[in-house]
Amino acid sequence: MKVLFRPSVLAVLLAIATVPLPSASAQEPTATSETTLFQNVRIFDGTGSPLSGPSNVLVRGQTIERISAGAIEVEPGATVIDGGGRTLMPGLIDAHWHAMLIRGNPIQMMADDVGYTNIVAADEATDTLMRGFTTVRDVGGPAFSLKRAIDEGLVDGPRIYPSGAMITVTSGHGDFRQLIDLPRVPGKLSRIEEIGGAAIVDSPDEMRMRVREQLMRGASQIKLTAGGGVSSPFSPVDVSTFTEAEIRAATEAASNWGTYVTAHAFTDEAIRTSIDAGVKVIEHGFLMTEPTAQLIAQKGIWLSLQPLPEALREGFPVGSVQREGADEVWPGIDRTYQLARKYHLKTAWGTDVLFSRALAQQQGAILASLTRWYTPAEALAMATGTNGELLRLSGRRNPYPGKLGVVEQGALADLLLVDGNPLENINLIADPERSFVIIMKDGKIYKNSLAN
């Protein structure tokens, strides 16, 4: 008698479970077959060049197909937008963002249910997109699920280049544990580690493991803290944290995956140790001296700067260790921008807003404040084409292959139609609700006030 094998439901489910799923970094935005023609627009192309003459721009699917001063014919059913001489520019890019850490505070983030935290972050992501920021480089926080939801069209939000957990040392910037959590028990994770906000490592071997975990989750780059920080309670800004061997373990692991490490560092020692260990991007650098700026120029290292607003410093209570650190760091902001200009450093722009919805709403105003050191054209180029160049350091870990931050044929269609000329009045960027009449990401229109 022939016996027929009928696998149990559990066996079927187990078989399905063994099928490898695509990593988060391989997620592609949902493609669209829509065609949009912008007529009679003046283009800021993201390079710092003056506005073009009256032009027409054809978007097909996710990319810019054609730019012409002459008429462009489109098929019936295409969306045709009369720009009326308004400015068409690339979507804005924030190169230092924390999508999961905008609202609430560290205690709330660690105490709240992770489901609620993700819902709040999703709401903030929609606000971010509606401010004209079509891409963010997330440099610390458990943003993988939020990124996936945005890519799958479940949530409206910007493209996210995620770093995953911010990697730090015991007592380092990003270690929000309290003294009652010490001593650390080997093998036992703290709450901030459990939810993916930070990873605490104290050896090269631990570093390799935690870096590889972030890459497995879909990190496009790795973020670590090479020195002290302002917002962390036990991390003086003058302290250097990781050893060169520990940082090198991170850069080697990232390089094996074809991507790079970006390091939070204020002081000369933290910056130089990071560079010696193979770090390609320095975040902040506000306490550097001129010789270190010269070294950054010689090595071709990227400097990711932020014109931190005074309101952020004043948000720390007078007498707190955070306010003490902020008072030490803030005077260095102007000096560092001056050094960046003097030595023509490869300079990216970001905000580094933390724990403040009100400050996040000033994202465009923080960008506009760059005119303290740059022309409006230079500032806008930094937040578009230059930041787009930085994003390409992720190599094959780039979750959005294609060119971002520019208006050119073949580039990804992240576009803003601005009611006015931001090269003459950059404060238009600070009023996105009125100024941005159309917001497009990936060829899809998310806002069109002209239709009203």
pLDDT at 363: 96
Over range 252-262, report the average pLDDT.
98
Question: Tokens in use for 79?
Answer: 């969306």
Tell me the C-alpha to C-alpha distance, in Å, between residue 332 and each of 147, 313, 346: 33, 13, 18
User: Confidence class of residue 226 from pLDDT cuts 50, 70 and 90?
Assistant: very high
How far is Cα 452 from Cα 435, in angstroms, rounded to an integer? 15
Beta carbons within 10 angstroms of residue 364's beta carbon = 24
Q: Is 305 helix (H, G, I), strand (E, B) or coil?
A: strand
Question: Tokens in use for 425?
Answer: 């009045």
Quick one: which of 161, 83, 205 has its CA closest to 393? 161
The mean predicted confidence, pLDDT, of the chain is: 89
How far is Cα 425 from Cα 328, in angstroms, rounded to an integer? 33
pLDDT at 329: 86
- Helix axis angle for 290-299 and 331-342, nearest 10°, is 40
Quick one: which of 298, 300, 325 has its CA closest to 313? 325
Beta carbons within 10 angstroms of residue 328's beta carbon = 17
pTM of structure:
0.90
How far is Cα 381 from Cα 320, in angstroms, rounded to an integer? 37
Q: Is the pLDDT of residue 444 over 70?
A: yes
Q: Is 264 helix (H, G, I), strand (E, B) or coil?
A: strand
**Domains of the chain, with CATH numbers?**
35-91+406-451 (2.30.40.10), 92-397 (3.20.20.140)
Beta strands in 3-84 (DSSP E): 35-43, 55-60, 63-68, 79-82
Using a pLDDT cut of 70, give the percent of the chain over it. 92
Quick one: which of 53, 22, 57 has its CA closest to 443? 57
Q: Check if the beta carbon of residue 332 is closer than 8 Å to that of residue 287.
A: yes
How far is Cα 155 from Cα 157, in angstroms, rounded to an integer? 6
How far is Cα 29 from Cα 301, in angstroms, rounded to an integer? 31
Q: Exposed, middle or buried: residue 35 (CB in 10 Å: 0-12, 13-18, 19+)?
A: middle
Using a pLDDT cut of 90, give the percent of the chain over it. 70
Q: Is the pLDDT of residue 354 over 70?
A: yes
Q: How far is CA 426 from the centre of its chain?
A: 22
pLDDT at 386: 98
Question: Which segment of 59-68, 158-167, 192-201 scores lowest on mean pLDDT?
Answer: 192-201
153 — alpha (psi -120 to 50), left (phi > 0) or beta? left
How far is Cα 436 from Cα 412, in angstroms, rounded to an integer? 19
How far is Cα 165 from Cα 168, in angstroms, rounded to an integer? 9
Question: Which segment of 17-26, 80-89, 159-168 scores lowest on mean pLDDT?
Answer: 17-26
How far is Cα 323 from Cα 329, in angstroms, rounded to an integer? 10
Over range 267-272, report the average pLDDT.
96
Terminal alpha carbon distance of the chain: 75
- List for the chain the helix, strand, coil content (%; round to 5): 40, 20, 40
How far is Cα 68 from Cα 255, in angstroms, rounded to an integer? 41
pLDDT at 452: 65
Beta carbons within 10 angstroms of residue 176's beta carbon = 22
Q: Is the pLDDT of residue 228 over 80?
A: yes
- Helix axis angle for 331-342 and 321-329, nearest 10°, is 30
Q: Check if the beta carbon of residue 275 is closer than 8 Å to that of residue 244.
A: no
Q: Check if the beta carbon of residue 404 is closer than 8 Å to that of residue 414.
A: yes
Q: Check if the beta carbon of residue 408 is closer than 8 Å to that of residue 43.
A: no
Over range 69-86, report the average pLDDT.
92
pLDDT at 20: 44
User: Tell me: the pLDDT tens digits for 280-329?
Assistant: 999 999 999 999 999 999 999 999 999 988 888 877 878 777 888 888 88
